[in-house]
Amino acid sequence: MKLIQQRDVPDTLQARLPAHLHPVLRRIYAGRRIRAAEELDNGLACLLPPAALKDIERAGVLLESALREGQRILVVGDFDADGATSSALMVSGLRAMGARSVDYLVPNRFEFGYGLTPEIVAVAAERAPDLLITVDNGISSAAGVAAAKTRGMRVLVTDHHLPASELPQADAIVNPNQTGDTFPSKCLAGVGVAFYVLLALRGRLRDSDWFSARDRPEPNLADYLDLVALGTVADLVPLDRNNRVLVQQGMQRIRAGRCRPGIRALLDVAGRNPARLVAADFGFGVGPRLNAAGRLDDMSLGIECLLCEDPARARELAAQLDALNRERREIEADMKTRALEHVEAMHLDARQLPLGLCLYDPQWHQGVIGILAARIKDQFHRPVIAFADAGGGELKGSARSIAGLHIRDTLDAIAARHPGLLQKFGGHAMAAGLSLAEPRLGVFQQAFEQELDARLDASALQGVIQSDGELQADEFSLELSELLRAAGPWGQEFPEPLFDGVFTVLNQRVVGGRHLKLSVRSAQGARVLDAIAFQQAEAGPLREGQQVRMAYRLDSNEYRGLLGLQLVVEFIQPLDD
């Protein structure tokens, strides 16, 4: 069961915001703890400088030496959207600065797993790189870095994941979350860290007259912010102010048509209008299509799409990614059906379910278990770990958590209490990955339940929907919808405005087999409003004249070039007659 709860909106914060702001927008910003008008400025001048990043100077020295000496550089990425954008950014940025030999390598999820392992280092060695750069991985790859150093490679680790107790012995590590780093924002995505490394390198090269001495144009790194914005949103990192600047600047360039062909092609196949781009188009349109390559096939396809400079070829690659995403959806639907059967087999109602769910089916696709865990977590509002058979007696798990439980720290505690139980693990507060031997799944389930019992308050299992309050009759307008659309970027921990209220259902129907289309009338006025509840067909059937409480977003729906107001419903609760 979910509870709609209105945000605390301090009057003192509202009073500090500009008087010319729409009252609803003032309320929204205050509810997100915006304390001054300056915090609403997303101009490039507000971007934090790179100097505070630990090892950023050492990274610059490594890269400058590689360029001056014509060294072979190999970028080792990750197989998700953040890893793909990080790889494309680092490769294209270094090429633009004059690197003679830059290539990339992404471990195949099914052969090598995540990160810079000794096995992927052996594959990398076939290309004889002088300098190996990790992007969006590497902070927990002590063995892989050691293997690379043994083979005579220099190693630069760029990452944003939380470090383990042992750091790899790389030549330089750039990660805002490592001990001793004073960079004010700890929320950079992997692509954001890569961007800062390139910023620092360009500064060094400029100071040493690298560009002028070679009559080479100095690259405008702002032109790469379309990649940074995409990877930042797709990786669900918190949109603190620095990340909002990166995302906003990237989106502005895409809206203005200054966009690389691959991203434009992905927006096209996703049915998104670049001129009206919002951050959600990355999260729900482009990101899943990129991720589908890493989940089902090879992320090289996604990176090639992002690097492609030919629009026609980019459209072909985007079409392949779109086809993979459709296949992923079908696999996911089958897996979710089976997962719900596993839960039903427990013969427990929602109040009796354990604090966390560990689910395993030998037929599940290991590339899709992360999405599956997220879907089940959303439905039952408790931490979920979904496991798949990785072959050779090994299980790979993907964990998704809820507010109140740091899942990576939870796995760390389990590993400490049960040495040897986890073969490897890593991740964030809300998402993590792990592997273990199949015969030890039962032991892990018990350890997981015991750790949750110690760490997780049962009250956290109550799903709470944070609302920005009710709208008045005259506030159901296309004008306010457009104002809110432009007021972002909205995203993780800076959520898109969500309102709630009581409505009367006038009619309803299921569309697309999964979505509930409604006509409703607000208790605040007589106007009939269109509404759609995506993936909520099971919320019906609702009776004509029935009252419901809804949590919803205002949306400007574009159809055949015309804009109309609609409510996008996040939650429907029928009220008693």
CATH of the domain at 567: 2.40.50.460
Domain count for the chain: 3
Specify the higher pLDDT residue, 345 or 39. 39
HSE-up of residue 422 (Cα within 13 Å, Cβ side)? 22
Confidence of residue 343 (pLDDT cuts 50, 70, 90): confident
Residue 523 lies in a domain: yes
CATH of the domain at 133: 3.90.1640.30
Q: Are residues 487 and 363 in the same domain?
A: no
Q: Are residues 353 and 310 in the same domain?
A: no
- The DSSP output letter for 318 is H
Confidence of residue 379 (pLDDT cuts 50, 70, 90): confident
Q: Are residues 384 and 482 in the same domain?
A: no
**Helices and strands (H and E) in the chain: how many:** 19, 17
pLDDT digits (tens, 9 = 90+) for 136-180: 999 989 999 999 999 999 999 999 998 888 899 999 999 999 999
Q: Are residues 456 and 490 in the same domain?
A: no
pLDDT digits (tens, 9 = 90+) for 445-471: 999 999 999 999 888 888 889 999 999
Q: Are residues 408 and 480 in the same domain?
A: no
CA–CA gap between residue 201 and residue 60 (Å, rounded): 5
Residue 516 lies in a domain: yes
Phi first, then psi: what are they for 145, rounded to 5°?
A: -65, -40
Q: Are residues 77 and 157 in the same domain?
A: yes
Listed residues 436, 461, 486: the one ending a domain: 461
Listed residues 461, 485, 513: the one ending a domain: 461
CA–CA gap between residue 295 and residue 298 (Å, rounded): 8
Measured in whole angstroms, how far is the alpha carbon of residue 78 from the centre of its chain?
13
Look at residue 350 in the predicted model and tell me its pLDDT. 64
Percent of the chain with pLDDT over 90: 75
Question: Lowest mean pLDDT: which of 97-101, 231-235, 535-539?
Answer: 535-539
Q: Please, are residues 465 and 2 in contact by the beta-carbon 8 Å criterion?
A: yes
Pairing of strands 499-511, 515-522: antiparallel
Q: Residue 482: what residue type?
A: E
459 Cβ contact partners less than 8 Å away, ≥ 6 residues apart: none
Q: How many CB atoms lie within 10 A of CB 87?
A: 32
Residue 71 lies in a domain: yes
Domain that residue 499 falls in: 466-574
Q: Are residues 313 and 372 in the same domain?
A: no
Look at residue 182 in the predicted model and tell me its pLDDT. 96
CA–CA gap between residue 399 and residue 386 (Å, rounded): 7
Which residue in this structure is represented by tokens 């930042």? 232
CA–CA gap between residue 193 and residue 183 (Å, rounded): 11
User: Would you give the end-to-end CA distance of the chain in angstroms?
Assistant: 19
88 Cβ contact partners less than 8 Å away, ≥ 6 residues apart: 227, 262, 303, 306, 307
CA–CA gap between residue 447 and residue 397 (Å, rounded): 15
Which residue in this structure is represented by tokens 């409505």? 503
Residue 473 lies in a domain: yes
Q: Residue 217: what residue type?
A: P
Q: Please, are residues 572 and 531 in contact by the beta-carbon 8 Å criterion?
A: no
Look at residue 294 in the predicted model and tell me its pLDDT. 86
Q: Are residues 299 and 416 in the same domain?
A: no
pLDDT digits (tens, 9 = 90+) for 51-106: 999 999 999 999 999 999 999 999 999 989 999 999 999 999 999 999 999 999 99
What is the helix, strand, coil percentage profile of the chain, to 5? 45, 20, 35
Q: Please, are residues 254 and 277 in contact by the beta-carbon 8 Å criterion?
A: yes
Q: Are residues 403 and 497 in the same domain?
A: no
Q: Which tokens hold the place of 224?
A: 């790469």
CA–CA gap between residue 21 and residue 7 (Å, rounded): 19
Q: Are residues 306 and 455 in the same domain?
A: no
Q: Please, are residues 225 and 249 in contact by the beta-carbon 8 Å criterion?
A: yes
CA–CA gap between residue 425 and residue 415 (Å, rounded): 9
Q: Are residues 435 and 515 in the same domain?
A: no
Residue 41 lies in a domain: no
Look at residue 52 in the predicted model and tell me its pLDDT. 96
Closest listed residue to residue 159, CA positions, set 177, 171, 143:
177
Residue 37 lies in a domain: no
CATH of the domain at 397: 3.10.310.30
Residue 456 lies in a domain: yes
Residue 51 lies in a domain: yes
Which residue in this structure is represented by tokens 């990166």? 246
Q: Is 390 helix (H, G, I), strand (E, B) or coil?
A: strand
Q: Are residues 422 and 476 in the same domain?
A: no
- Over residues 532-545, the mean pLDDT reads 84
